Amino acid sequence: MILNNVRMTLTGQMVSIRVKDGKIAQILLQPFQDESDVTLNFNNEIVFPGLINSHDHLDFNLYPPLAGRTFRNYTEWGVYIHIKYEDIIKSVLQVPEALRIQWGIYKNLLCGVTTVVNHGKKISVSDDLLTVFQDCQSIHSVHFEKRWRLALNNPLKSNSPAVIHSGEGIDDAASKEIDQLISWNLFERPIIAIHGVAMNEDQAKKFKALVWCPESNYFLLDKTAPVDVLRNHLPLLFGTDSTLTGDWNIWNHIRKAKQTGLLSGAELYDSLTVTPSTTWGLNAGTIEENKDADMVLSKAGSFFTTDPQDILLVMHKGNISLFDEELYQQLGGANAVGYSKIRIGNSSKFVRGDLPALIEKIKQYYPEAGFPVS
């Protein structure tokens, strides 16, 4: 497949891209003229690497945000919501887990995410629509996982990074919890911390990376991690967490992050692309020859103003997972077999698989479920 005349987000350069065998095979400065290959002609729309969402709980995305106030730390929040929102939690859990996970995958895809790191037990899902990254050991947290010390020091897991919620709070307990984690990392395993709101510079030096989830942090704690100083000590990755603590749309998280001014636009962009690709060991995150063809085309005009309705195309390893109705003719109607049509904002998209049927099924178990698409 060929994508002619797209504009690289970072450099503003107009390029044409040939995709073959799931990889970016060739990038030229002028359009390809090759009638033997399926060709999509664009007119200056921007292209960027598929987003890498480094933290989500795929099975938690049918929840509405639950809090109603702010907290000192995640333990306080966890206890509170299980009492206050017991009924909602029960209703969501009526939905079979496989359906909840499938919706979590679509939530990410609709925003142009092509890799999502799922936190929790290993799940069996196909990587058809996007990559669900699970090559790491999820440990919930010091307070919510009883055997965290054993899990962290399990010699059978020593080759993969441990990923753990850490320092999710504004009080002393949250900071001490990070020290506890560091002192119990007996074999100096690479640890990727999630949140790190209470993390200081000395603590940061002990971690392989930090997943920054500003939307979730502000929602729960009205404060986020001091990434403006932590960035000097460790790589920063961006994560959404689930809809339990924030909006379904990652672009709203990204704009909120930008408004904080804690990172530059370029650093924020890197935290969604090249940095997580390196940290998780992916062959993605940049638009270069021989990289996986994970790409997003947007008609928003710029990366930071993009919203799901602006997305023209999401390509995952060379396959189209989502395309806008505007491309229907160019792709030829026959290519829409296996896709379903949905409405999002003021646009219509075709997504691979049967999303309307999934929504129907979920509503049979949980009629109050809200979806951003129809």
* Residues in contact with Zn ion by the rule CB under 5 A: 241
Instruction: Identify which of residues 129 and 193 has a Cβ nearer to Zn ion in the complex.
Output: 193
Closest contact distance (angstroms) between CB of 244 and Zn ion is 8
Instruction: Identify which of residues 20 and 82 has a Cβ nearer to Zn ion in the complex.
Output: 82
Instruction: Identify which of residues 6 and 152 has a Cβ nearer to Zn ion in the complex.
Output: 152
Closest contact distance (angstroms) between CB of 58 and Zn ion is 11
Closest contact distance (angstroms) between CB of 16 and Zn ion is 40
Let me know: does 213 contact 203? Beta carbons within 8 Å.
no
Closest contact distance (angstroms) between CB of 168 and Zn ion is 8
Tell me the one-letter amino acid at 270: D
Let me know: does 235 contact 275? Beta carbons within 8 Å.
yes
Q: Phi first, then psi: give them for residue 195, nearest 5 degrees.
A: 85, -75
Burial class (CB in 10 A: 0-12, 13-18, 19+), 2: buried
Rounded CA separation 159/92 (Å): 36
Rounded CA separation 268/254 (Å): 8
Measured from each CB, the residue nearest to Zn ion is 241
Closest contact distance (angstroms) between CB of 11 and Zn ion is 34
Q: Helix H segments across 115-264?
A: 148-152, 172-183, 201-204, 214-221, 227-230, 250-260
Instruction: Identify which of residues 241 and 310 has a Cβ nearer to Zn ion in the complex.
Output: 241
Neighbours of 155 (CB within 10 A): 8
Beta bridge partners of 296: 48, 314
Instruction: Identify which of residues 215 and 310 has a Cβ nearer to Zn ion in the complex.
Output: 215
Rounded CA separation 123/111 (Å): 22
Closest contact distance (angstroms) between CB of 182 and Zn ion is 20
Closest contact distance (angstroms) between CB of 358 and Zn ion is 23
CA distances, 99 to each of 65, 289, 355 (Å): 19, 36, 11
Tokens of 55: 């933290």
Rounded CA separation 253/117 (Å): 17
Closest contact distance (angstroms) between CB of 85 and Zn ion is 17
Q: How far apart are the first and last CA of the chain?
A: 30
Closest contact distance (angstroms) between CB of 193 and Zn ion is 11
Let me know: does 340 contact 354? Beta carbons within 8 Å.
yes
Instruction: Identify which of residues 241 and 294 has a Cβ nearer to Zn ion in the complex.
Output: 241
Instruction: Identify which of residues 177 and 241 has a Cβ nearer to Zn ion in the complex.
Output: 241
CA distances, 64 to each of 56, 126, 127, 195, 246 (Å): 15, 26, 26, 20, 8
Instruction: Identify which of residues 241 and 292 has a Cβ nearer to Zn ion in the complex.
Output: 241
Tell me the one-letter amino acid at 147: R
Instruction: Identify which of residues 241 and 270 has a Cβ nearer to Zn ion in the complex.
Output: 241
Rounded CA separation 285/292 (Å): 9
Instruction: Identify which of residues 42 and 71 has a Cβ nearer to Zn ion in the complex.
Output: 71
Closest contact distance (angstroms) between CB of 104 and Zn ion is 12
Q: Which residue has the tokens 């030096």?
A: 205
